[in-house]
Structure 1
């Protein structure tokens, strides 16, 4: 069976499974639509949470980022995993005990203010819509390569699939669909990694293969990779960092607290029967997430070595990396390169007209490497590889069987669709439950609220699709920006709502607004969106990354600090918290009676 037919079968079967589950698990009440009736078991919720959390960024992009950045890419592993631990330990159990459906509802009740709830909705929508752009883009990338359609068509198909199981199933349908999606994506991620680890090191466990010996040599795989990339003029893989130490720290911290503040992940803990189950499901989710996250570094390193080995035959065969015959002829490049060239995510330009692909570092500071490259007729790097293709192309680079490539296609789509569904659920709940029922129409019937939620979900899908088709100019950093927004606006408010009995509504609202605005200002100023008298605003604040060299993707941690400071200052000079609110906060933090809590509102 040819590759394309195999892909159609695998993707078609997975989509049929998702739609079938949606039909079986249709939501019949607001409790089922928003919180799956509060009846999901810990293990199943842990699996669904893992699928909700491991987005296209985790499945498609993370290993590619690590592959490109080397050691510095580890900040994504530390930030996202550490953030989930923060969420599981500091937020999830307490929010579950509060017994509400959504984050804005918690903030509105805790800070005894509909205005606070409205601000939280604005922050949630800003973060969720920004995040979903990346998911829809991931759907487009996967479809354009594997189904032979344009990325626009891929987004339309993705919208239709999500509509089928999210609008009708609500959180109940999404939950069971995400369990299936987790199974698909984890097999799709780990099976190719096992095959490739066996090929390169003889060890079937990728996590151990990363530190094992490289086949046919007396050095480890990482030592071999370091030797290859430095000889080709690239930075040493195991020591390269993401900018300054301060920026790397702030980037990691921003991802951590942004993770803990993401509303679509928090909502998953409202679906279990009790606080005990919330803690248990958090532990299970961490185990399920760790399977992929501990595999990602091995996938990144092995894919990078295989890529160099494909373009430069001397990498695996030994010999001079700069010898004319070491670089493969363009006409001999493998079929997988030709397939990915059609997507525009892999590009080859024969700059010196020798008919070969010379993949050396344009920005090398290694004079020896540069001299050897120029002696071989090099006139600049001739191969451009987008980080997003590393995982999806990995089994093709390693010449694995067609069914493995098809499985990866299904896994990539499962990762993007599962997170998109979770984000859309958060958006729908914020609009229908927090805005319509909470503020504009508090007397709306349950049936009316359920219909409003479905309409809000449908509109959100259309908006998400439109943004995927017409991404804004700053779309390249949308995932990191979404984490920054959640970190600077929602996380501090939730933390203070749980752990500070003295934080009042004025402080919380001022903090959320300040944190959100300063983060958006820094990001948009960096992207050249703010102009003053026709001049880019950045020179007026000191240039790009002007705040101690911190990049926009890392600025969420600064925004969070501003949020905390503004909140406590404003709280000091405004009216104190009512006594009944202080008592409520104390009750939420004490575990007594937690088993009796339900998802009722």
Structure 2
């Protein structure tokens, strides 16, 4: 059977599974809708958290970035993995003990202010829509290639599926759907990686195969081969870094602290019964996430080596079918500048004739390696599972922020539970439409857009959450001012240097790179904005009155482990 038929079969089965779970887990109360009734087991929550966390950026784009950036791409691995550890150990248990459904709910109550709640809602919506834009681009990429439908139609199909199980089941439906999606995406990521590792190095463990010798009897190490191919074409050595240490540090830290401030990940820790379960599910999720994250560098090496071997100085007329298929999507383009019919893929921009969108590397990798059609289709299903699982979590954050934190807590406190549930579903529907627009008009490749969302989360939420937990004298004036200054600074820098809004449409590629502040890229500027947030928050806090005694007592209590008092008495 062809790849397209296999894709229809596998994607159809997975979509039917997701819809079936949504019908089975229809939310009947706001608690079901927001936190799945608070009764999810640690293992189920760990799997759902892993799926929520491993978005299209992790599945589709991260290995693509590493494939093209080489050593420099390690910042994404370090930042996203380290950030999850930071979240699990530093914040999750305390937020769970505080007992609020959402991050704006925590900030609104901790800082005893409707204004703080509204600012947090605005920040959550900005972060979530920036993040969901990356997911929808991933959905469009998969649909346009493997189902051979128009990319816009692909986005619409994906959004209808998400709308169905997010609006019908809320967090309850999303949680159990994400358990299934984790199984699909991890299987889809590992199977081709194992196939190609055996094919190239004879070793079935991709992480070991990446550092092993080629299977051709030459005794040449795979990374040594890739370094040689890269330098021959004028690129830097794959294993050498070109980013400044300052930018590497800034991006890594921004991704780490951004992780700890992401509302769609934090909300998962409210779905379990006890604080102990929150810690346990965080550890389980980290283990499950590590499976993909330790494999991604190997996938990147396999994909880049196969790509260079296939296209460099080869006649265009002899390109395999996968090349033409990806050309049809517009994500891979060949321009014969010297009219010799041969593909010149070189570092020199004036001579280079091939443009490869880095988001296609994971998806095209099984085709380049000539793996069976069912494996190629499986990767397509995995990419959709990764994108849709995170998109659903983000849409829930947006809908709960509007229905619970704005309507229920600010504008209409007397609204009935049924009315709040209806408002949440309408909000999710509107959010789906806006997310679909971003998918049809994406602002960049998946991981870059997602990295900006992490920067926005770092700049806005992280200081307010950390100070709210660990500094009992932190007041509302400081937190509100810090959040506004932090996210405004990050938005300005992002719009100026990523999208050229204030420079006539110029971007870093067009020559603004040398104007970066402190030599830090937009993806890493969240670190600077976060530091400014901390400074502003603490300065304003010092100049204004302390929070009420009852608030300080709450902060003291959430830092004391459950049962500690009884243990001391014994």
Query: In which range does the TM-score fall when normalised by the shorter chain?
Result: over 0.9
For 1:443 and 1:488, how far apart are their aligned partners in 2?
A: 34
CA deviation after TM superposition for structure 1 residue 525, in Å: 2.1
Query: How does 1:150-549 map onto structure 2 within 5 Å?
Result: 150-216=150-216, 217-241=218-242, 243-312=243-312, 327-362=313-348, 380-471=351-442, 477-526=448-497, 527-530=499-502, 545-549=515-519
Mean CA deviation greater in 327-336 or 297-306: 327-336
Structure 1 pair 472–234 and aligned structure 2 pair: CA distance change class (3 A): closer
For 2:185 and 2:56, how far apart are their aligned partners in 1?
A: 10
Counterpart in the other structure of 1:375: none
Structure 1 pair 85–595 and aligned structure 2 pair: CA distance change class (3 A): farther
For 2:565 and 2:425, how far apart are their aligned partners in 1?
A: 31
CA deviation after TM superposition for structure 1 residue 544, in Å: 5.0
For 1:91 and 1:8, how far apart are their aligned partners in 2?
A: 42
3-state SS, counterpart of residue 193 of structure 1: helix
Counterpart in the other structure of 1:321: none
Structure 1 pair 484–535 and aligned structure 2 pair: CA distance change class (3 A): closer
Could you list the runs of 5+ residues in structure 2 that have no partner in the other structure? Answer: none
CA deviation after TM superposition for structure 1 residue 475, in Å: 8.7
Contact 1:530–1:537 (CA under 8 A) maintained in structure 2:
no
For 2:565 and 2:308, how far apart are their aligned partners in 1?
A: 56
Matched, 1:13 2:21: no
**What are the Cα deviations for residues 494-536 of structure 1, in whole angstroms up to 9, with x where unaligned?**
00100011100100001101101111111222232136xx898
For 1:9 and 1:535, how far apart are their aligned partners in 2?
A: 43
CA deviation after TM superposition for structure 1 residue 595, in Å: 13
Counterpart in the other structure of 2:23: 23
CA deviation after TM superposition for structure 1 residue 474, in Å: 10
CA deviation after TM superposition for structure 1 residue 38, in Å: 0.5
For 2:87 and 2:443, how far apart are their aligned partners in 1?
A: 30
Could you list the runs of 5+ residues in structure 1 that have no partner in the other structure? Answer: 313-326, 364-378, 597-601
For 1:107 and 1:45, how far apart are their aligned partners in 2?
A: 24
Counterpart in the other structure of 2:539: 569
3-state SS, counterpart of residue 138 of structure 2: helix
Counterpart in the other structure of 1:554: 524
Counterpart in the other structure of 1:370: none
CA deviation after TM superposition for structure 1 residue 85, in Å: 0.5
Matched, 1:52 2:42: no
For 1:544 and 1:65, how far apart are their aligned partners in 2?
A: 22
3-state SS, counterpart of residue 384 of structure 1: strand
Counterpart in the other structure of 1:322: none
Structure 1 pair 434–544 and aligned structure 2 pair: CA distance change class (3 A): farther
Mean CA deviation greater in 119-128 or 223-232: 223-232
CA deviation after TM superposition for structure 1 residue 274, in Å: 0.6
Contact 2:18–2:177 (CA under 8 A) maintained in structure 1:
yes
3-state SS, counterpart of residue 553 of structure 1: coil
Structure 1 pair 594–154 and aligned structure 2 pair: CA distance change class (3 A): farther
3-state SS, counterpart of residue 517 of structure 2: coil
**What are the Cα deviations for residues 517-567 of structure 1, in whole angstroms up to 9, with x where unaligned?**
111111222232136xx89899xxx97543111111110000100010000
Structure 1 pair 158–109 and aligned structure 2 pair: CA distance change class (3 A): same
For 2:444 and 2:194, how far apart are their aligned partners in 1?
A: 38
For 1:524 and 1:310, how far apart are their aligned partners in 2?
A: 38
Contact 2:134–2:442 (CA under 8 A) maintained in structure 1:
no
**What are the Cα deviations for residues 226-284 of structure 1, in whole angstroms up to 9, with x where unaligned?**
1221122110000123x211011001100111111100000000000010000000000
3-state SS, counterpart of residue 168 of structure 1: helix
For 1:537 and 1:208, how far apart are their aligned partners in 2?
A: 39
Q: How many equivalent pairs are there?
A: 561
For 1:46 and 1:32, how far apart are their aligned partners in 2?
A: 18
3-state SS, counterpart of residue 523 of structure 2: helix
For 2:365 and 2:339, how far apart are their aligned partners in 1?
A: 28
Structure 1 pair 530–361 and aligned structure 2 pair: CA distance change class (3 A): closer
Contact 1:276–1:595 (CA under 8 A) maintained in structure 2:
no
**What are the Cα deviations for residues 440-461 of structure 1, in whole angstroms up to 9, with x where unaligned?**
0101111111111111111110
For 1:473 and 1:37, how far apart are their aligned partners in 2?
A: 37
3-state SS, counterpart of residue 355 of structure 2: strand
3-state SS, counterpart of residue 100 of structure 1: coil
